[in-house]
């Protein structure tokens, strides 16, 4: 074929999705498997969100509301942030793509932790810019090492808080010290997909910085705590000088009607959110107790997952799969000894540990 893509596009390693559970069951000859691999909400979606979807189904012949009018105002009420400081996305990774389109070009650099969310690297490469990977230090994001990698080419820094896959956080004091060392022209993107699950009181409170520092962009999602991963909806808070530029590169109907109304309703479902947080926190505490009894090391987590040292991640992953338990091997993340477990229902957590003891 004579048509050729630019080298910076052709060289991107594509995201490889997992197989559907039904296909895995067919291939493995198993039934009633449980998926504890993708950090999803085991309770399903919010009941209020489901009711909103049912109500809006008859309107899907119409285009979505392009500005997310009702959702941005509901978010404004909850966080006391004006709607003009918000951008909605088809998942928060959609907003990552808007940021890289609007602010990066060939020759620029964007700093990010490694390992972390794969879409940072991909979206930076799509813009023709260079991703600069900074390894974790003791399983946590190394802010000092990030500052040392800043050059005159640096335009953006990504920080995952809490970090995926390790569940570590950034403290308020460390973040304040970090900001003082970052040039004013560098955008600092805080990806807070798991922020609702944080229990550590020393954690960074990002919203306070948003009002005093125009460089800060905060990304959040309805995929995790609110159980709307399949509807793909996220949002970002930022200075209006940034949001106005993102609206220039944003597709006009990037968030579908059902997602907008489901997310708006989910924000009112306080009972569901509290039930989700209690389930996850109880599940984490239960996991720590069992792992201590088993003598296995693990990383205490501020998210809805945790990493467990099982010695040989790929082998244990395959053996658990044969037991109908799907987790995530961390080998591709650079941690070949670890698996990542998503906290599930109480019965699912118990089944996982029963299977883990068996395969070990």
Here the CATH number for the domain that contains residue 171 is: 3.40.640.10
- pLDDT of amino acid 31: 76
Number of compact structural domains in the chain:
2
| pLDDT at res. 299 | 98
Model pLDDT, residue 1? 59
Q: Distance between CA 327 and CA 313 in Å, rounded?
A: 10
| Domain contains 318 | yes
Per-residue confidence (pLDDT) for residue 18, from 0 to 100: 64
Asked whether residue 132 is domain-assigned, the answer is yes
Residue ranges making up the domain that contains 328: 16-44+270-359
Residue 336 Cα distances to 237, 255, 262, 307, 312, angstroms: 36, 37, 38, 11, 6
Residue 104 forms part of a structural domain: yes
Express each pLDDT in 122-140 by its tens digit.
999 999 999 999 999 999 9
Residues 120 and 229 in one domain: yes
Domain termination residue (choose one: 243, 266, 289): 266
Write out residues in the chain with pLDDT < 70, as ranges: 1, 16-19, 21, 24
Cβ–Cβ < 8 Å for 220, 195 = yes
Does residue 237 sit in the same domain as residue 149? yes
Q: Are residue 73 and residue 31 in the same domain, yes or no?
A: no
Q: Do 58 and 194 share a domain, yes or no? A: yes
Q: Which of 213, 246, 266 is the last residue of a domain?
A: 266
Question: In this structure, are 227 and 329 located in the same domain?
Answer: no
Whole-structure pTM value: 0.94
In a domain, 8, yes or no: no
- Is 2 contained in some domain? no
Q: Is residue 3 part of a domain?
A: no
103 lies in the same domain as 73:
yes
- The verdict on 24 and 103 lying in the same domain is no
Q: Each residue of 178-223: pLDDT tens digit? A: 999 999 999 999 999 999 999 999 999 999 999 899 999 999 999 9
Interatomic CA distance for residues 265 and 259, integer angstroms: 10
For the chain, counts of helices (H) and of strands (E): 14, 13
Whether residue 220 is found in the same domain as residue 342: no
Residues 174 and 205: beta-carbon distance below 8 Å: no
DSSP readout, 56-97?
A: HGGGTTSPP-TT-HHHHHHHHHHHT--GGGEEEESSHHHHHH
53 with 103, same domain: the answer is: yes
Q: Which two tokens stand for residue 31?
A: 């039934």
Can you point out the beta strands (E) in the chain?
A: 34-35, 86-89, 109-114, 130-135, 154-160, 187-191, 216-221, 234-238, 298-299, 305-309, 325-326, 328-329, 338-342
Could you tell me if residue 185 is inside a domain?
Answer: yes
**What interhelical angle do 257-266 and 69-79 show, nearest 10?**
20
- 129/258 same-domain check: yes
């Amino acid at each position: 074929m004579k048509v050729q893509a630019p080298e910076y596009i052709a060289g991107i390693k594509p995201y490889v999705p997992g197989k559907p559970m039904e296909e895995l069951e067919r291939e493995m000859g198993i039934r009633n498997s449980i998926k504890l691999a993708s950090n999803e909400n085991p309770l399903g979606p919010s009941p209020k969100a489901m009711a909103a979807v049912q109500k809006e189904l008859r309107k899907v012949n119409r285009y979505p509301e392009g500005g997310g009018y009702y959702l941005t105002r509901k978010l404004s009420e909850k966080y006391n942030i004006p709607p003009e400081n918000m951008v909605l996305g088809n998942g928060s990774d959609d907003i990552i793509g808007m940021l890289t389109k609007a602010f990066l070009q060939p020759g620029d650099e964007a700093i990010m932790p490694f390992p972390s969310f794969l879409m940072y690297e991909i979206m930076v490469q799509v813009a023709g810019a260079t991703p600069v990977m900074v390894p974790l230090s003791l399983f946590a994001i190394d802010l000092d090492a990030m500052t040392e990698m800043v050059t005159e080419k640096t335009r953006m820094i990504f920080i995952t808080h809490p970090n995926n896959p390790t569940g570590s956080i950034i403290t308020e004091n460390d973040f304040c010290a970090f900001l003082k060392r970052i040039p004013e022209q560098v955008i600092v993107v805080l990806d807070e997909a798991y922020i609702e699950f944080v229990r550590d009181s020393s954690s960074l409170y990002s919203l306070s910085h948003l009002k005093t520092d125009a460089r800060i962009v905060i990304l959040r999602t309805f995929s995790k705590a609110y159980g709307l991963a399949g509807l793909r909806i996220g949002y970002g808070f930022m200075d209006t000088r940034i949001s106005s530029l993102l609206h220039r590169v944003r597709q006009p109907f990037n968030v579908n009607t059902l997602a907008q109304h489901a997310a708006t309703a989910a924000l009112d479902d306080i009972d569901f959110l509290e039930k989700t947080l209690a389930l996850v926190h109880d599940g984490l505490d239960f996991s720590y107790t069992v792992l201590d009894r088993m003598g296995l090391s693990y990383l205490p987590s501020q998210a809805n997952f945790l990493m467990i040292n099982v010695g040989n991640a790929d082998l244990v992953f395959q053996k658990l799969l044969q037991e109908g338990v799907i987790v995530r091997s961390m080998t591709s993340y650079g941690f070949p000894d670890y698996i990542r477990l998503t906290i599930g229902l109480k019965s699912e957590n118990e089944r996982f540990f029963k299977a883990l003891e068996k395969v070990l």
